[in-house]
Amino acid sequence: MKGLILAAGRGSRLLPISATRAKHAVPVAGVPIIARAVQSLRDAGVQDIGIVTSPSSETDLRDATQDSGHLTFIRQNEALGTGHAVLAAHAFLENEPTLLYLGDNLFEDSLSPLLLALRDAEAAIGVKAVPNPQAYGVAVVQHGRLQRLVEKPRKPESNLAACGVFAFRPSLLAHVADLAPSDRGEIEFPQALTRLMAAGGTVRAVEFSGFWSDAGTPDDLLSANTHFLAQQRPRVDGRAERSVLSGNVVIEAGALVEDSVITGPVWIGPHALVRGATLGPFVSIGAHARVDAARLHGALVDEFARILHPSRPLSRVLIGRHALVTAPSESGLQLVMGDRSVVRI
């Protein structure tokens, strides 16, 4: 069994956070999205894992998975769709069954049932009941078998979203190779499932009940951060001085917390510095970040960011690497906004 993670996408919905690095390398509760994807495959018993990257994303993804064991990186030189990415990995797959994972997804459930579904099917797809199926590819399922997939329908026939994970036998690759480009000019992997069913093949649908996110937007990322922070186990490997810690708090090695009130779930990354702050719940502070005299709730602060004496509390905020948030100067409010940034003041 092979594992294949597709991580060559540009992540335009996550701009500007994804402007300077692959979205799959963005941390959620201190762990990069791509590293969580690798762990999900390993937890399902899949050890031989390939990651499809773009020329611009490979370095970020290698850095983000440096503690994830042996991985094979496969270059997709042009962004021509998920099906094209799978075909780029044809040599790696070596005619073996494959567990395919679209790399910006996050799952609470085990992926093992997808592998079990291949016992009496040529392919399997993960689905999840959602309140807004019109925002997703919708799976129409009958007696556990996929009947059809409909992309973002105005009037959905079901509430089951296709949630970015598949298992398939090697024979499916012939259908992928026969696909024509879609209206978007891309080779779309899910269309191969449609061709397989038209040829009489069986696609099982495996419904997940736990948390799932495609982490495609800032709100999705914050929601995922909140969920995974709640799952962590309290641990203090750094230092906390003259501070009050309550609930589920992790302080990584090299981090220093002084004169602060920390209400978990909170994760404070390696070598971060927190002084005179009130953090939590649901806050993650990246490695080497600095937080002085700030109040944060429901926040994801990335590595090397600085939050220095802001004049108001910060809630539901996503702050990227090396960003600076501080109080207005004597001349008033200052904004330095990059392309596609968001500010509400």
Which residues, 6 or more positions from 64, have their beta carbon under 8 angstroms from its beta carbon?
Answer: 22, 24, 25, 32, 34, 35
Residues 256-297 have pLDDT tens digits of 999 999 999 999 999 999 999 999 999 999 999 999 999 999
Q: Give yes or no: residues 123 and 175 share one domain.
A: yes
As a whole number of angstroms, the distance between CA 141 and CA 168 comes to 17
Q: Give yes or no: residues 314 and 197 share one domain.
A: no
Tell me how long the chain is: 345
Residues linked to residue 267 through DSSP beta bridges, in sequence order: 250, 284
Domain count, the chain: 2
Mean pLDDT of 323-339: 78
User: In terms of DSSP bridges, do strands 160-168 and 98-102 run parallel, antiparallel, or are they unpaired?
Assistant: antiparallel
What pLDDT band is residue 244 in, cutting at 50, 70 and 90? very high
DSSP category for residue 232:
S
Tokens 């004049």 — which residue? 311
Domain boundary among 213, 228, 243: 228
Whether the predicted pLDDT of 91 surpasses 80: yes
For residue 273, give the CATH number of its domain.
2.160.10.10
Say which amino acid occupies 202: T
Q: Give yes or no: residues 218 and 273 share one domain.
A: no
Per the prediction, the chain carries an average pLDDT of: 93
Q: Give yes or no: residues 189 and 257 share one domain.
A: no
For residue 32, give the CATH number of its domain.
3.90.550.10
**335 is a domain residue:** no
Q: Give yes or no: residues 280 and 315 share one domain.
A: yes
Q: Give yes or no: residues 217 and 289 share one domain.
A: no
Q: Name the residue range of residue 172's domain.
A: 2-228
Whether the predicted pLDDT of 331 surpasses 80: no
As a whole number of angstroms, the distance between CA 187 and CA 85 comes to 9
Question: Whole-model pTM above 0.95?
Answer: no
Contact 338, 322 (CB under 8 A): no
pLDDT value for 37: 97
Q: Give yes or no: residues 204 and 287 share one domain.
A: no
Q: Give yes or no: residues 16 and 155 share one domain.
A: yes
Residues 39-88 have pLDDT tens digits of 999 999 999 999 999 998 899 999 999 999 999 999 999 889 999 999 99
As a whole number of angstroms, the distance between CA 231 and CA 51 comes to 26
Backbone angles phi, psi at 25, to 5 degrees: -90, -5
Measured CA angle at 125 (ends 119, 128), to 5 deg: 125
